[in-house]
Structure 1
Amino acid sequence: MADILLVEDDDYKLNDIQKVIDLRCRRSVERAASVTAALRAVSLRDYELVVLDMSLPTFDISGPGGGGSPQGQGGIEVLRLAGRLRNKSRFVIVTQYPDIEINGYDISLSDSGAILSEKFGLNIVDCILYEFDKPDWQIPFIDIVQRIGLK
């Protein structure tokens, strides 16, 4: 069984995150590339860490036009179900957007984690801005991996 669930549909971003995980810890990683796959995964078990993107397709992409409708807040659906199921995983949100829409308001990433933790009763460790052309996102991500003791 995997220790880390990596919920990401973008292969480039996925590979960047996977490289950091591989360099910093020896944990098995399971991938979910859609809202449906992520919902299934968090409903089955808790993970040591769930790395969650906010914008996800409805279904796994299986060819041209596959994946269904993109959901800009697909990650919120994953958090909602995890909260309802009292999932004990630690979550880190890694997104390319500087804010997250919560209850109709755009909330900065620096405030989103605490608000979403309270809203869904989850352990959301942090929200990190990913920029493909800047490695700055790696610093807080590595800090989280070390802080929670993933080796």
Structure 2
Amino acid sequence: MMNVLVVEDDEFKAADIVRLISEAIGSATITRAASVTSALRAITAGGFPLVILDMSLPTFDLSGPGGGGSPQSQGGVEVLRLASRLASECVYLVVTQYPDIEIDGREVPLAKAAKQLSSRFKVNVKECLLYEFDRDDWQASFSRALTFDIT
């Protein structure tokens, strides 16, 4: 059984992702994190060979008075930066609603972002995918990205 961490603050998008993981992997145990802080807490605790990561995340979870703050467009990049300090051996799969990711002040298209994020932060970013709630074609790309061996 594989443990998967889904780092996503949007409930609708998270539900789509969890459904596809369940269909593709079947016996996966899925844990949710909805902020940079909760993602890093889970990654630090370990046990997640696969992390599905959004790029726009609030700093803290949205519980309690005042919520978790506004989503940071670079929240996912911050997770990768800090995960690199932990020497994280997770495989990261980025699923974002934006066609580009800002890396070191430059907008990088998703097709090139995984390689650049992996190189920049010394973590294993397998792929960066565009999530489109009103289109189904992202789902096939996501399911294909889940079909790899984690050793």
Corresponding residue for residue 7 of structure 1: 7
SS at match of 2:60: coil
SS at match of 2:147: helix
Per-residue CA deviations over 1:35-89 (Å, capped at 9, x if unaligned) read: 1101111122141210000000111111574112321100011101111111000
Number of residue pairs matched by the alignment: 150
Q: What are structure 1's unaligned runs of at least 5 residues?
A: none
After the TM superposition, which parts of structure 1 deviate over 3 Å for at least 4 consecutive aligned residues? none
Corresponding residue for residue 37 of structure 2: 36
Report the identity percentage.
52
> How far, CA to CA, are the matches of 2:65 and 2:123 in structure 1?
36
Per-residue CA deviations over 1:83-127 (Å, capped at 9, x if unaligned) read: 111100000000000000011110000000000000111111000
> How far, CA to CA, are the matches of 1:107 and 1:86 in structure 2?
24
Greater alpha carbon shift after TM alignment, 109-118 vs 57-66: 57-66
Q: What is the TM-score with the length of structure 2 in the denominator?
A: 0.93
Q: What is the TM-score with the length of structure 1 in the denominator?
A: 0.93
SS at match of 1:71: coil
